[in-house]
């Protein structure tokens, strides 16, 4: 592989913590998949801008192993052929496949992937939910008491 080809190659997300970190990023919904994007510079201040990294998720809900592997292969090929050129350095991408990936024409699958990567949508990351320890305590004094009622058996 030449040096120029290596510059255009997208890296891979390999570990569960990497995938979970991307889940906190931006979500871009499409017909064939959900694209999750994380800018590593925002998530980890001081992180260097290196090659983009890509991960693929196909849940068991989408089909048996043969179908899931076929979906993953189709998405990987779409990224390899064209989408990696639209990916920004220093970003992580997770493609969560939907069942329609199996039957979609490859040209439309590739075009949608390019479009979702290139176009930033108005989907913002979710705000972190407060833990139960941070929630204000509720006053149960207004709730009627069951102390004097007979229990139904």
The structure tokens listed for 98 are: 């939907």
Cα distance from N-terminal residue to C-terminal residue, the chain: 76
Q: For the chain, what is the domain count?
A: 1
Give tens-digit pLDDT for 40-54: 877 776 666 788 899
Does residue 37 belong to any structural domain of this protein?
yes
Residues spanned by the domain of 97: 3-118
In this structure, the dihedral spanned by the alpha carbons of residues 81, 87, 90 and 92, taken in order and rounded to 10 degrees, is -80
Does residue 94 belong to any structural domain of this protein?
yes
What are the Cα distances from residue 109, in Å, to 20, 58, 79, 100?
25, 15, 10, 9
Does residue 128 belong to any structural domain of this protein?
no
CATH number at residue 75: 3.30.230.10
Does residue 74 belong to any structural domain of this protein?
yes
Does residue 113 belong to any structural domain of this protein?
yes
Give tens-digit pLDDT for 9-51: 678 999 999 999 999 989 999 899 999 999 887 777 666 678 8
Does residue 109 belong to any structural domain of this protein?
yes
Does residue 136 belong to any structural domain of this protein?
no
pTM higher than 0.85, yes or no? no
């Amino acid at each position: 592989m030449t040096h120029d080809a290596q510059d255009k190659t997208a890296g891979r997300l390999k570990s569960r913590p990497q995938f979970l970190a991307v889940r906190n990023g931006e979500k871009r919904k499409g017909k064939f998949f959900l694209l999750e994007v994380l800018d590593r510079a925002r998530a980890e201040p001081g992180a260097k801008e290196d090659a983009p990294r890509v991960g693929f998720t196909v849940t068991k809900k989408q089909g048996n192993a043969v179908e899931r592997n076929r979906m993953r292969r189709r998405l990987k090929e779409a990224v390899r052929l064209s989408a990696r050129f639209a990916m920004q350095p220093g970003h992580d991408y997770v493609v969560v496949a939907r069942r329609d990936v199996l039957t979609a024409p490859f040209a439309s699958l590739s075009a949608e992937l390019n479009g979702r990567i290139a176009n930033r949508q108005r989907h913002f990351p979710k705000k972190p939910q407060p833990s139960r320890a941070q929630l204000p305590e509720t006053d149960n004094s207004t709730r009627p008491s069951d102390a004097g009622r007979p229990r139904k058996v």
